[in-house]
Copies of this chain bind each other. A is one copy, B any other.
Amino acid sequence: MKTIPLVPDAIARLRARAPLIHNITNYVVMNTTANALLAIGASPAMVHAEEEVAEFAAISQALVVNIGTISAPWFVAMEMAVASANRAGVPWVFDPVAAGATTFRKQASAELAGLKPAVIRGNASEILALASGAASGKGVDSTAGVERAEGAARSLARNFGTVVAVSGAVDFITDGLREARVANGDVTLTRVTGMGCTASALTGAYLGAGLDAAEAGVAALVTLGVAGEIAAAASEGPGSFSVAVMDALHALDDAALAARARVT
């Protein structure tokens, strides 16, 4: 099995292009997502109205769709944005938050997963739920081991022709042929809301910078993992950790990323 590499100039390429990232995401993390994208060097926009999502998706460099606080009208807007992105050749990331928690989420996430996302990024519970159609986990936390989810990720990747990135203590990224495991990160990333959503947004940023889908997934998870490690060393709890993550994302460069990356 070939390994998906960490692109050595990923951050430089991102900052040179400053890609416009269209986010249709949940209310809880919109501020965090926008600030994380700005900190790493992308240009975020949150646009969700049916009247404009198609037009906006087509002029973006990447689209990120996150169902954290989905509702029926937002699902319509997500489908419109995705269709437009696909027509325009704009890559998109799908974050199936709490995919197995309710019937509505199972249906919505199954439909969106079938619309050719470049990357699906979730935790183990979400990837298992998406792969099996079975409810698992109790909400938005990861309760299944990443290991158990690896088979599900490979199946999803092959069946849907997409990259699947599973966040966990060790992240797992696969395109069905190549794989990578990322051992960066800190447990405090799970004690702050929206860090998984941030991983999805960073994946969108790297896609928008021109990395291929598998490379974008690896670069995003290394970036967030390293930022989390730096933040953990500089903070005293989840509040100061959140602040330090943004500082770390802004201060990171490719040399620091390469020095700390734990990709196998």
Give chain A's interface residues, CB within 8 Å of chain B: 20, 26-32, 34-35, 38-39, 43-52, 55-56, 59, 68-72, 98, 101-105, 138-141, 191-194, 235-240, 242-248, 250-251
* Cβ contact of A238, chosen from B138, B140, B247, cutoff 8 A: B247
> Quick check: A45 and B239 within 8 Å, CB to CB?
no
Bound CA span A71–B53, Å: 10
Q: Please give me the residue from chain B that is nearest to A18 by CB atom.
A: B141
Q: Please give me the residue from chain B that is nearest to A73 by CB atom.
A: B71
> Quick check: B51 and A72 within 8 Å, CB to CB?
yes
Contacts A45-B140, A46-B27; A246 near B250 (Cβ below 8 A): no
Top-3 shortest CB links A-B:
A239-B246, A237-B247, A34-B193
Contacts A34-B28, A102-B47, A103-B52; A240 near B237 (Cβ below 8 A): no
Bound CA span A43–B191, Å: 10
Bound CA span A52–B27, Å: 17
Q: Within 8 Å CB of A244, what residues of B? A: 239-240
> Quick check: B56 and A101 within 8 Å, CB to CB?
yes
* Cβ contact of A102, chosen from B43, B55, B103, B237, cutoff 8 A: B55
How far apart are A61's CB and chain B's nearest CB, in angstroms? 9
> Quick check: B242 and A239 within 8 Å, CB to CB?
yes
* Cβ contact of A39, chosen from B28, B51, B102, B191, cutoff 8 A: B191
Q: Please give me the residue from chain B that is nearest to A77 by CB atom.
A: B71
Bound CA span A29–B236, Å: 22
Q: Please give me the residue from chain B that is nearest to A56 by CB atom.
A: B102
> Quick check: B251 and A246 within 8 Å, CB to CB?
no
Contacts A/B (CB < 8 Å), 28 sampled:
A26-B46, A29-B31, A31-B32, A31-B194, A34-B194, A35-B192, A35-B193, A38-B238, A39-B191, A44-B139, A45-B139, A47-B98, A47-B101, A50-B72, A52-B101, A52-B103, A52-B105, A59-B138, A235-B247, A237-B246, A237-B247, A237-B248, A237-B250, A238-B246, A238-B247, A239-B244, A240-B247, A243-B243
> Quick check: B55 and A71 within 8 Å, CB to CB?
no
Bound CA span A72–B29, Å: 22
> Quick check: B246 and A49 within 8 Å, CB to CB?
no
How far apart are A99's CB and chain B's nearest CB, in angstroms? 12
> Quick check: A71 and B56 within 8 Å, CB to CB?
no
Q: Within 8 Å CB of A35, what residues of B? A: 192-193, 238-239, 242
